[in-house]
Each structure stands twice: as structure tokens, then as C-alpha cells.
Structure 1
Amino acid sequence: MASKSKVASFKEVLSKEEIDIEELRRLCFYGCTDKEGIRATCWKILLGYLPVKRKYWEEELRRQRSSYHRLMNDVIINPYKEEDQTEAVDHPLNPNPDSQWHKYFEDNDILLQIDHDTRRLYPEISFFQLPTMYPRKAFNTGVVLGIEALKERVSHSSLPSQKVESSRYGVRKVKIKKNEEEPFSPLKEGEEGHWEVVERILFIYAKMNKGIGYVQGMNEIIGPIYYIFAQHPDSLWKEHAEADTFFCFSNLMVEIGDNFTKKLDRSRAGIGGSMNRLMTLLKDRDTEIHKNLIDKEIDPAFFGFRWITLLLSQEFLLPDVIRLWDSLFSDSERFDFLIYVCTAMIICIRTDILAADFSVTIKLLQNYPIDDMQRILQKAQDIKQFYSLSKR
């Protein structure tokens, strides 16, 4: 439970007419609190959704939320309204790439993959399987927003498991760390699960960002953000969690999107560059463990690809991921601190790695055995301080 002094410190910073972003980052780096929706507010500021001047909040939120409602109508309700082809001309076998049916099938491929990934999002908790209090409705209408239409599109298709299980490096997810799953009841007629909200956000994002589209793992990035926003104590902010999540996720993807772009894998800007920085930092801080991994011919892609691309969201339980992201989002040089955390994770299990063969080492790195987030963060801070001093 957050101490009163900690809550008071956050409230003092957030109550100012112009928020001191550096002070907010300092506070968030050491962990936010969910009291009074503080974490949700902080994340929205740190992700560039809310401006630092409070007087603009109401106007900005109204504008963005209205914009998202229009996107829902355009992408979900009337996705092909701009087309002027007649039904007689357009048909399912029409090879024309501008055909409504051709676009429908392309969209369905995206939706199938998103559906597969979101249905069992964070299975260690029941939250995403529970109904939302605010099922979406079509803009300026009283009709529930085409939820059944999305379900029907998925129910009439199947998705090969290989398409969604393998990464670009051929590394499959070995397991999901979880506790005993919480029981939950099937949704009633007309209800909408939180996972369906996430599915809709990702589908709209993919449609609006065709350059990157949807890539497996984006569900792991968006999940914690929506989870925090959808539990805001203010009913108005909770009601608009979907829209707020969409824009915060979109802003975050601007920063980490290169990691999801295959053509940048080996570039300095892509995931390859990030993994190289990880191994360089590890070598500078712990030559022995670095040499051990090299001698075993353990490619950093075997573990670093998933760690960095998904911001470690698959390596820890959700509460620890949320605490970690407080620090990651508050890092003014995002996402440099992520590399320090990844380095710390390896060093924290160095004894086990040094005593292990290739296969055991892979299991240790792909199924990380330590769940003490505070220990890992402290080690990451120590490494960062050591690295900073060594560069002076």
C-alpha cells in the first residue's frame, strides 16, 4: 500500500498548473501508485498523451476521444463506405486489389491473428475475461458497436498455429509465467469482455498504421496500459479507457515500432542494434558471463529479441511488469534503462548460467527464474551508475 507521503508527493506534482516533467519522472522512476488514479495519469503524461499544462487536459481529452469514436465507425461500422463499386461488379473472387472483398479478406487475416493473441491475454488473472462496464456503442447512436460482427468474422475462419507462435527468429514462446488461473464466468448476451476491447483497439491500430500493421506481441504491450486505464477510479476516465489506450499505445509504438519492423532487424535503429548494445554493456560490466554466453554460442536473439521488443512483459507477472514500466516510461532517454534492466537480469543469475550447459542456459534465459523486481531494478541502477562513472 502506498504511503500517504508518497501519494501526497504525486498529488502535489500533478496539481500544479504546469507539471514539472523532470520531477514527475523522478517520482515515477521509483514506482507510481494506483491511488486516486495516479499511475494512469502519470503514464498518460509520460507517454505524451496529456500535455504538461493542466488547462489543456479537458480539451485534449475531448478531442482525442471524439476522434477515436469516429475511427471506430470508419474502421468497424462502415469500413468500405468510400467504395463506389456495385454489388454486381464486386464479388468474393474479384482479383482486383481495390475490391471490397479483397480488402475484407486482408483485414480478416489481421483480425484472426489479433483474436488469437488477445483471447488469452494475461491468463494469470481473470480481468481480461470479465465484462467491461462500458461496451462500445456506435458514434451518436444507441447501437452496440458491431461486436458480434468481429466475433462472427473470427468464428468462420481458422488460423494456422505456426503463423502466430513463431517469431522472426524462429524462437517460440516456451511458457507463460503465471499463478493459478482465477475462475471466471462466460460472458452473457450483449456483454463485451475486456479482451474484446483490446482486440478492437489493435485492429483499428493495424488499419490506421498499415506500414507496420499488427505484429505478434503488440497485445503484450497494450495489455498493461489498458489494464491500468480501465481501472481508473474516476468513472469518466474509466469509460474512455479504450480511446486513451489507443492513443497512448500509438505514441509508445512511435518509440519502439522499429523493433517490430523486420527490415530494420539488423540496423542500429532496430532490434538488432538494441541486442548489440545489451551484449556490449554486459561485456563492459561482467566479462566472464559475457564470454560464457559467447563460448556456448548463445545468440542474444534467443532471449533478447523477446525481452527488448516486448519490454519484458512476458518475463514477469503483470504487477511486476507495471512496476517496471513506471521506471521505463520515466526514463528521459527511453529506452536506455531497459538495456540496463536486461543486463541486470543476466548478472542476477550469473552463478546459475556459469554452471549450466547450453540447453539449461537457454531455459534460464527464456523462463527467467527470479521474480524479485526490486532486486533487478536496484541492480540495473547500480550498472547504470557504474557505466556513467566509467565513461567520465
Structure 2
Amino acid sequence: MTRAWSEVEFAQKVIAYYHQSGRKDLPWQNTQDPYRIWLSEIMLQQTQVKTVIPYYQKFLQAFPSVLDLANAEQDQVLHLWSGLGYYSRARNLHKAAKMIRDEFAGQFPENQAELESLPGIGRSTAGAIAAFAFNKPSAILDGNVKRVLARCFAIEGWYGQTTVLNQLWELSEKLTPNQETAGYNQAMMDLGALVCKRSKPLCQECPLTAHCLAFQQDRVSELPHKKPKKARPAKSVYWLIYLDKQRILLQKRPPSGIWGGLWSLPEVERTEAVKQNYSSARRLPEILHKFSHYDLHITPLLMNKTIEKTMQQEPNMSIMEADSSDWYSLTEPLEELAIGLPTPVTNLLKQLKQTLE
């Protein structure tokens, strides 16, 4: 029989776990610098700690302060973010840094509402910054915390639904203590990441097991409920490879949308109507790139005609920014290209470099 517990007892159990087993030596811990805390929180959205650490360290080397970031060029920012994915995070990070410089006199705001006014900072991220940087009793609700709460309290429904999300926020606000909030929040994230894992949770190591409804009801594998399945959409495109004396043509994508602001190859949607225009081009192996919400099937084509000739046949060819194209030498190390490149483009350029060597 599961025994009910008070908010105070719940928080005490979580804080005790933090002191005994919580992570305390990550690169963004042991500091109250809001810039470093903010940067880590943005990078950790939908990305694992071990992946984030080297990016975080390189980013801080290049931009040690929020003003350094604000004064940087977007290409510099996206270059250092290349490979980390979810590039809107980097664009919003840069926009927010400029807002802090221009609207907050270079000082990070402490107020929850002002934090949430910055691009890319939602309610949970604002709560984390307020708690870790400014010692405020602010609640958080990232993916790990959602999972812990959904299992402990047997919350029904997928938490992408507003009613379920509101229920979880209400729980998080009620359970978050006024004292040792930072330790409590860190422990809740650690419990979700290290113990109450999505698959193969370590329930015997969890300090909350005695009260966990999912554990007591043998529903740990069922909760939290998954997003209802629906057909996964797909899109097919051609990437056009124009080579000239070991140089390749790259174009900058629009500032918003998929891979916004990054450099890629000229792109054409692959439809039956346009296939005949590219029948003579040499096809390279297809690339499948999975985004969170759809699959992108990419067919690279080694073009045997000029860009001008292609544009005549396909005047609406490119989704790229006008007048934002340049030739890049394949003989130079990719790391020296101070531009942001999507991972599939980086991999394709490496393959082309090998064929030229």
C-alpha cells in the first residue's frame, strides 16, 4: 500500500538524494554566473550532458561573456553550434544576448517575466536560471522532471496536452521548496536522467520508490504516456553539387526554418515534375536525415551544367537567401570554415574531399 506524503517530505527526500548522489562537478556547476547557467540550460534542451560538454567548453572559449556573444557574427555562433542540432536554439541565444546588451545594459535580468521575454527562454529555463543564478525558489519542468512527477503521481495522459502539462506544472510549483531550491532542482533533473530513466529505470536506487504510484501499481513502463502515434511525414529533395577547380558552391539558408542561417547546398524539392531536368546528373548515395517531426530524404546530384543553366531550367530552384552564395575550397580543413554547416552537409563535404585526395 502506497503511503501518501507531504510536499515537505517529498522535497526532503529529493534534497537528501542531491547531497548524497547528485551531480556537482559538471562544467556549468559551482558558479552563479547567469550567462554560463543560461548557456548550459539552452544547450541541454533535448541534448544529453555528454554531448553538450565539449560544445559548452568551446563556446565559452570563443564567447566568455554575454557581451562577447552579443557582439559576435551569427556565422561565428552557428559555426560553433554545428553538429549540436536544433539550430533555432543558437539563433535565439544570439538574439537574446543582443537584447541583454541593448535593453538590459548588459546585465542578466533576474525577474522571471523578464527572463521569459528573452528569445528561447521558456518558463522552465527561466526557473532554472532564477534558481541556480539568483537563489530564487523557482520551479522547473524539463523532460526529466516531467517523467519523475508523471511516475510518482501516476499522471494520466501525454504531457504534450495542455491539461496534462498544467497538472505537472501545478505539482512542480507545489513541491518545489523555498529553501535549497537549486539543490532540489538539480536532484530532480539528476533523478530523471540517471535513475528514473525513460527505459530501464533503476527503481531500486530511487529514493522515491516507497511513494511512487507507478512503481506500486507496476506501471513504470507505461508512464508517462507516450505521444499518440501518427504517420510520420517525409520530404524528398535534391542537393545540387557544383564543383569548380576543387571548390564547391554553398548557399546560406534563410534566417528562420530548418537549419536557419546555416550554409548548405542549392536545394530543389524532388517531385515527378522536376526529375527529368536532372536525369543526366550523376547521383550520389541518398542521405536520410531524421528531424524531430519529419524525415528528409536527400539525393545529392553531381551537376554537369553551370548554375546559370540550372536556374534557367528551374527558376524557383533555391530556398536559399538571395545573393548569399560562395565558393569554398575542398582542399581546406572544414574546421577552418567559420560558418555553420548542418551535419549532413559536413559529412557530404568530407566524402567529396576524400574523392579529390
Same fold (TM over 0.5): no
Higher strand share: 2
Higher helix share: 1
- TM-score normalised according to structure 2 size: 0.28
